[in-house]
Structure 1
Amino acid sequence: MHHAAKAYGTVAQQTASPRDLEAQLLLRAASRLQMIHDDWEGQRGALDHALLFNRKLWTVFLTSVTNNDNPLPAELRQNIANIGIFVMNHTLNVSGNPAPERLRSLININRQLAAGLSGRA
Structure 2
Amino acid sequence: MSYGAHAYAKVSQVALTPREAEAAVLIKAAARLQAVQDNWAEQQAGLNEALTFNQKVWTLLSTAATEPDAPLPPELKQSMARLGAFVFTRTFDAMVEPAAEKLTALIRINREIASGLRGNP
TM (norm. structure 2) is: 0.86
**Runs of 4+ in structure 1 over 3 Å off:** none
1:35 equivalent in structure 2: 35
1:7 equivalent in structure 2: none
2:6 equivalent in structure 1: none
How far apart are residue 16 of structure 1 and its match?
2.4
Unmatched 5+ stretches in structure 1: 1-13
Cα distance change on mapping 1:120 and 1:94 into 2, 3 Å:
same
1:26 equivalent in structure 2: 26
Unmatched 5+ stretches in structure 2: 1-13
2:74 equivalent in structure 1: 74
**Which amino acid in the other structure matches residue 18 of structure 1?**
P
Query: Partners in 1 of 2:82 and 2:60 — Cα distance?
Result: 14
Q: Which protein is bigger by CA-based radius of gyration?
A: 2
1:10 equivalent in structure 2: none
Helix, strand or coil at the partner of 1:68: coil
Q: Give the aligned length.
A: 108
**Which amino acid in the other structure matches residue 16 of structure 1?**
L
2:9 equivalent in structure 1: none
